[in-house]
Structure formats: structure tokens, C-alpha cells
Structure 1
Amino acid sequence: MNFAYHNIAFHSVKYLVLLSYCLSLILSVYALRVDWLIILPPFALMVLLFWVVQILNQTHLFTALILGLLMDGLHQTLLGSHSLIFIIITFMMIRMRLRFRSTPLWQQSIVIGFYMLIFQILYFILYTPPLSEEGAVLYWSMPLVSIVLWPLIALSLTKLSSPTSNT
């Protein structure tokens, strides 16, 4: 499967970027309503990582800060904690995004799963959520779900952001 990336300028897809961030925050709110949806990854972070890879002329650290603050407000947690986690993971992706772009989609999914595992570890260190035995299995299986969801997110956003051809 050939998964080609295009170097996208922000001004050409700014409304799509903003809409995708808003949609990811709405999905995060939906995941808060049901207990067993702890298995879902932070969609805002996954969409942020996608745009970090796609739009190369920005660092996206300010976006990570803002999305993290919004997630703190949604989760009613200590202000800045999600921002710290989002900025750390965004910085890690910025450091390797050119190598990330050149790998096949299945390898990208594994890397995203690793980043989500780092998110889970940092989240666990900062918050120490009270987990039952079943809740702990769901909590720590979130990186596996993100491995499955990454191709869906990446392919759909790539299709929406790719220039249309009239041939």
C-alpha cells in the first residue's frame, strides 16, 4: 500500500485543520460520558500528530498547548497537565517526523501506539487514576486501539486534505 504524503501549506487547509481539532475534541467529550470508553485514545492528540507530520512549516507546539488546555477543561483536571503531555509528545514527533513520513502506514501505526503508551504512562504518573482490575486492562489497552485507529484517521484526513485532481 503506497501512502504518499503531500507537503501541505497551512493556509490551504486551515479550515480543515480547525474542523478536525473541533471534531476530535467532541469525540473526546463523548468518550468521557461512558466508563468503558476509557479504551479510546485522545483523538485530539492523534489529530495533532497527523497535522504535525503533514504541515512541515510550523512547529505546532502552541497548538499542543491550546489543545492540552482545552482537554484540561474537558476533563476538569489540573490546568496545564494535558498541555505538558501534549507538548512532550508533539516535540518527540517533530524530532522524527521526516523519518515518520517515509515509513509505511503499518509502521506509522506502531510508532503512534508507542506515543500513546508514553501518553498513558505520563497520564498515570500525573493523575494515578483509580482503576479496577477490569478498568486497568481497558486503560492499558488504549495504545493497541490507537494502532488500529491511526490508519483510519490518517487515510481520512489525507483524503480530505489532498489536492483534487481533475483527470
Structure 2
Amino acid sequence: MNRAPPLWLRLGSLALGLVFLVLALPWPLDLLRPHLLALALVYWSLEAPGRGAMALAWGAGLLADVLGGTLLGEQALRMAVLVFLVQRFRAQLRFFPLWQQSAAVGLLLLNDLALMALVRLVAGAGLPSPLLLLSPLVAMLTWPWWFLLLDALRLRHRERTLPR
């Protein structure tokens, strides 16, 4: 019995996160954009950890750098750190109720913003807008719906592949 999530679902959720990252939004809504790529990486790190999670995070981050036009390696570093932290605290995070997971995801994404500010400050690119602090709040509100959607798709696939 294969308990691994389907590759199309894992890559599809990451592709959706990348598309949402480059989707053109008006200025005020752009600051409220949840980081769906990071949310997808958090979900897969919680539900289907594996040896390739860090490499997947790094590769998705590099793609995000190229698509978003950011400093090459910035998002790759941020996504790798995010996945490392999720894997480090996976045992605790998995058994939190969904509202506590949302709070933890918000804190992880605040850490991600701090890392982004540090990298940009060191690179001389200047600090991001303070209004960007609203993004982790929106991601906290998005997390339960994102989690439930991916979980339903993953479990539906697992039910189809079970022998009868």
C-alpha cells in the first residue's frame, strides 16, 4: 500500500503557490497576498516529510526568485529555513488544533519576513514596506482552508489507491 501523496498533488500545490506569487494584484491587495508557496511547503513538511523536503524547498525558492525577480537565492534560503523549522518542530505542530497551527504558521511567516528583511538589508536592497507585516496575518487566516483543501485531496487519493 502506497501512503505517499501523489506527485501531481505535491507539485501542483507548489505550482499554484508560484503562480499566486507572480499574479498581478493591485497595490493594496498585493501587500495582503498570502504566501501560498510557503503554506504548501509547510503542509507537505507536516504531512509527508521526506528526505527531499529541503531540496524541494530550495528548488521551489529558486523558481520563486526567478519568477518574482528577487535576489537569486533569497527565497530559496527563506523556504529552506522555513522547512527546517517545520521539520524541527513537526512532532508538536502536527498535534496542535487547527487554530494553534494557524498561529504557529503566522509566527513562522513572521520569521520569514524577518529573514527577508535581513537578507535585503545585507544585500543593500533596502527594507520592505512595514505594511508587509499584514501578509502573515492573512496567511494565518488562509491556513485552515489551505490545510483542509490539501488534506481532502490527499486523503481522497489515498482512498482511491487502497486495495478493496
TM range (shorter): 0.7 to 0.9
Provide the secondary structure at the position in 2 that maps to 1:102.
Answer: coil
Provide the secondary structure at the position in 2 that maps to 1:56.
Answer: coil
TM-score with structure 1 length normalisation?
0.83
Task: Give the counterpart of 2:116 among 105, 123, 137.
Answer: 123
Provide the secondary structure at the position in 1 that maps to 2:89.
Answer: helix
Amino acid aligned to 1:164: E
Aligned equivalent of 1:5: none
My pick for the range that moved more, 35-44 or 62-71, is 35-44
Within 5 Å, which residues of 2 pair with 1:12-161?
A: 12-30=5-23, 32-36=24-28, 37-127=30-120, 128-129=126-127, 131=129, 136-137=130-131, 139-161=132-154
Alpha-carbon distance in 2 for matches of 1:91, 1:9:
23
Unaligned 5+ runs, structure 2: 121-125
Is the contact made by 2:82 and 2:108 (CA closer than 8 Å) also made in structure 1?
Answer: yes
CA RMSD in angstroms comes to 1.9
Amino acid aligned to 2:159: T
Is the contact made by 1:59 and 1:94 (CA closer than 8 Å) also made in structure 2?
Answer: no
Cα shift at 1:143: 1.3
Alpha-carbon distance in 2 for matches of 1:57, 1:143:
26
Task: Give the counterpart of 2:159 among 136, 157, 164.
Answer: 164
Cα shift at 1:33: 4.2
Moved over 6 A (4+): none
C-alpha spacing 1:78/1:88, structure 2 compared with 1 (3 Å): same
